[in-house]
Amino acid sequence: MPDLAGVAHVALTVTDAPRSAAWYTRVLGLREAARFAEGDGARQKIVLTDAANRVLIGVVQHGGAPADRFDERRTGLDHLSFAVPGRAALDAWAAHLDALGVPYSPIAPATLDPRTAVLVFRDPDHIQLELFTI
């Protein structure tokens, strides 16, 4: 079987691409790398990156899409988890989210591996995001 070299990027469907791009920039410190429209403006994409950590996220707004909020119980994406280097980093992220007024769960042992810890929060479209110690 051929090897995989990692995850190249994640694209998230959102209701308002500029709003989501601004939120991911403010909350996660990503920077805008590209912005473009396709299909006579029917689809708008904004590419965000943290090049130092090889993170590439696209926020994509589809014209005519339903405006309902994300629900991880539907088939598709359940959540997106970002690795952080340890508990001290997780505590620093909690303080950062507090300063920005972003609600989040208490830091808790991760279900996947109780030796690790996780903090859960949501983006403007209610997509569940995690910060997960490695």
Predicted structure pTM score: 0.91
**84 contacts 71 by C-beta, under 8 angstroms:** no
Determine the residue type at 129.
L
Residue 130, C-beta contacts closer than 8 angstroms, at least 6 positions apart? 79, 80, 81, 82, 118, 119, 120, 121
Q: Is 31 helix (H, G, I), strand (E, B) or coil?
A: strand
**Whether pLDDT at 38 is above 90:** no
Output the pLDDT for position 17.
Answer: 96
Task: Identify which has the larger pLDDT, 106 or 72.
Answer: 106
The rounded mean pLDDT for the chain is 93
Q: What is the mean pLDDT of residues 45-65?
A: 93
Q: Is 95 helix (H, G, I), strand (E, B) or coil?
A: helix
- Counting residues of the chain whose pLDDT is more than 90, the rounded percentage is 72
